[in-house]
Amino acid sequence: MSPTLTYRDSVAVLDLGADENRFSPEFLAAVDAHLDTVLADGATGLITTASGKFYSNGLDLDWLSANGDRTPWYVEQVQGLLARVLTLPVPSVAALPGHAFGAGAMLALAHDQRVMRADRGYFCFPEVDIRVPFTPALAALVRAKLSAEAVTAAVLTGRRFGGLEAHEYGLVDATAAAGTEVETATALLAPLGAKDQGTLGSIKSVFYADAYTALIA
Amino acid sequence: MSPTLTYRDSVAVLDLGADENRFSPEFLAAVDAHLDTVLADGATGLITTASGKFYSNGLDLDWLSANGDRTPWYVEQVQGLLARVLTLPVPSVAALPGHAFGAGAMLALAHDQRVMRADRGYFCFPEVDIRVPFTPALAALVRAKLSAEAVTAAVLTGRRFGGLEAHEYGLVDATAAAGTEVETATALLAPLGAKDQGTLGSIKSVFYADAYTALIA
Amino acid sequence: MSPTLTYRDSVAVLDLGADENRFSPEFLAAVDAHLDTVLADGATGLITTASGKFYSNGLDLDWLSANGDRTPWYVEQVQGLLARVLTLPVPSVAALPGHAFGAGAMLALAHDQRVMRADRGYFCFPEVDIRVPFTPALAALVRAKLSAEAVTAAVLTGRRFGGLEAHEYGLVDATAAAGTEVETATALLAPLGAKDQGTLGSIKSVFYADAYTALIA
């Protein structure tokens, strides 16, 4: 299933899919095209979510092992999408109905805010346990959004955080009962009203300049 | 009304005024001169406050629209004052009896600590809604003092925070009943005792080097 | 008494000593040699602790005043040890049975996590009161581990934090009853399991690159 875009009034809801929603080249291109639509439509907010038990499991390791020579190109695509979401000129919320692992967790962090299902699913940086290093750009993204305490607790340990623990450490901003993640995200966006794209994009670019610059380098 | 300087024992209390206390060139020069006095007097602390319902409403937009050709000079003056307060070699507390908006909120952030009236007044970064971008230097100042969560909640939204909410997000360090803001600030300073100006100024300059360097560039 | 190394199963426990455990050249060399052993032994974690009422009182001011001409060399040794602990490729916890002052507090901060005795002892940066400035590298280490609020509360004030207050400000991650600091630290390490040294060292180096680079410059 490909990512699909619908609207709740003026808020765009991008469903990443019903599977593991790993970052295949097709997935990345589809998300990128949907973001073009969201901006052209003048949406007042973006919610990304998923319809299965994974928000996203991150990198497409199968594709990578079959296309090792294209790794640099692939990393550039992934980091480019993270940079775009990080500085997206509309308010953004990731609504996690389930697992967010590795680059999937980073995609969630790139949004302005995160809502996570309270009773199931894990937020996790498994890199330290699966022997995958962080690029400086990905580390800059994580540091731009998390406290030093959360970095230590999550990144250095590989620990899996349920929704309530993820909220406690600031990995997510709110939790929600199963099936109400998008509704909760909508409630977070409602009081913000419509923002001028140029201004909001500029402010995010300036505040997250270190991570943004590294991600698009 | 111009800013006025009085003392409570060895603590300097700078009243920014009874109006909106916007940063006119005269206001900036008066505050700067009072800071000279505070340092020369060997004050053991500085409290800035106000006597009306505004701590400060920030930039003097009327003056700016009448003096557009002097914008670069004006920005340099404003950032220079923020840099000076950020690294002031005496302990500093902003005691907010009311609204702190935009550059007024940034002036409060430049102090070591902030006390805000609990029941009235707003702490707010309205830039995103009035289409004013942040300079990298102002963003560096805000990032030096706030958590990533607070930056998202306050800067990307333009949301107005009452005292209790401002405290919850770490925008301010304490709240106070109406009329007791300076008293509460005084209580925060009392246990610190007198600090050596050279040492404290050096430590602030080193810890806030990114913001300081950007502000005085 | 020199630092001594023992093991609790596969976790290395480095006792810094029963005195003030100041950073004499001999102390620094002994700790460094023990860290070599810890890594060569494939320990699954490192706990540093002490057997008296001081975790460490920091710089060896007596040695420094007798060897003023070797100050640059000494600073390089101290910062080198802090850099090594900051990026140590095994999970690390400082278990504080008592006082951690100045560079002793920085050594504790260089660990992944900190446990402090709840009822006695102080965590303190006395620099502002004893007129000792911070080098940019030491400031970068402190900023890499503490929130802006904690930096202000601890570094700019010279305030002494008991265990419970230190926990409240995030200076330490947990408190423990007297005599149970190492046990509590062990419990923090247990769920982490064994980590690949290369991966964990790489991740710490990337996430703490600013501080690490400054410390070894």
Q: Does residue C137 belong to the interface with chain B, where contact is any CB pair within 8 Å?
A: no
Residue numbers of the domain that contains B192: 4-216
Q: Does residue A200 belong to the interface with chain B, where contact is any CB pair within 8 Å?
A: yes
pTM above 0.90, yes or no: yes
In three-state secondary structure terms, C79 is helix
What is the per-residue pLDDT across B73-103, written as a single tens digit (0 to 9) for each?
999 999 999 999 999 999 999 999 999 999 9
Q: Do A113 and B152 touch (CB under 8 A)?
A: yes
The token pair that represents A73 in the structure block: 């190109």
pLDDT higher than 90, residue A1: no
The average confidence (pLDDT) of chain B is: 97
Q: Does residue A203 belong to the interface with chain B, where contact is any CB pair within 8 Å?
A: yes
pLDDT higher than 80, residue A131: yes
Query: Out of A128, A148, A158, whose CB is closest to C147?
Result: A148
> Which positions of chain C have pLDDT values less than 70?
none
CA distances from A5 to A12, A44, A111, B84 (A): 7, 14, 17, 49
A125 C-beta neighbours (distance < 10 Å), count: 29
Q: Do A156 and C203 touch (CB under 8 A)?
A: yes
Q: Does residue A75 belong to the interface with chain C, where contact is any CB pair within 8 Å?
A: no
Q: Which residues of A3-25 are buried (b: 16+ CB within 10 A; e: fewer)?
A: bebeeeeebbbbbbbeebbbbee
CA distances from A12 to A173, B143, B153 (A): 20, 29, 20
How many pairs of residues across A and C have Cβ atoms under 8 Å apart? 58
Q: Does residue A159 belong to the interface with chain C, where contact is any CB pair within 8 Å?
A: yes
Contacts of A157 in chain C (CB under 8 A): 91, 191-192
Q: Do C207 and A128 touch (CB under 8 A)?
A: no
**A154 contacts A18 by C-beta, under 8 angstroms:** no
pLDDT higher than 90, residue B188: yes
Q: Does residue B196 belong to the interface with chain C, where contact is any CB pair within 8 Å?
A: yes
pLDDT at B110: 98
pLDDT at C198: 97
Q: Does residue B86 belong to the interface with chain C, where contact is any CB pair within 8 Å?
A: no
pLDDT at A183: 98
pLDDT at C70: 97
The token pair that represents B47 in the structure block: 């409290």
Q: What is the dihedral of CA B34, B38, B39, B43, to 10 degrees?
A: -170
**A95 contacts A48 by C-beta, under 8 angstroms:** yes
Q: Do B204 and C142 touch (CB under 8 A)?
A: no
Number of structural domains found in chain B: 1
Contacts of B209 in chain C (CB under 8 A): 136, 139
pLDDT at C97: 98
pLDDT at A90: 98
pLDDT at C117: 98
pLDDT higher than 80, residue B1: no
Please list, in sequence order, all residues whose beta carbon lies within 8 angstroms of the beta carbon of residue B109, skipping any fewer than 6 positions away.
B141, B142, B145, B146, B171
Please list, in sequence order, all residues whose beta carbon lies within 8 angstroms of the beta carbon of residue B193, skipping any fewer than 6 positions away.
B44, C129
CA distances from A206 to A80, A196, C19, C138 (A): 17, 16, 49, 27
Query: Out of A147, A202, A209, whose CB is closest to B133?
Result: A202
What is the per-residue pLDDT across A55-89, written as a single tens digit (0 to 9) for each?
999 999 999 999 999 999 999 999 999 999 999 99
Region A37-57: what's the mean pLDDT? 98
The Cα of C186 is separated from the nearest Cα of chain A by a number of Å equal to: 14
pLDDT band at B35 (very low <50, low <70, confident <90, very high): very high
Q: Does residue B128 belong to the interface with chain A, where contact is any CB pair within 8 Å?
A: yes
How many pairs of residues across A and B have Cβ atoms under 8 Å apart? 59
The Cα of C142 is separated from the nearest Cα of chain B by a number of Å equal to: 9
Q: Does residue C164 belong to the interface with chain A, where contact is any CB pair within 8 Å?
A: no
Q: What is the CATH number of the domain that holds A70?
A: 3.90.226.10
- Strands A113-117, A99-101: pairing kind: unpaired
Q: What does the alpha-carbon distance between residue A215 and residue A211 come to, in Å, rounded to a whole number? A: 6
Q: What are phi and psi of A103, to 5 degrees?
A: -60, -25
What is the per-residue pLDDT across B170-182, written as a single tens digit (0 to 9) for each?
999 999 999 999 9
The Cα of C197 is separated from the nearest Cα of chain A by a number of Å equal to: 9
Q: Do B131 and A170 touch (CB under 8 A)?
A: no
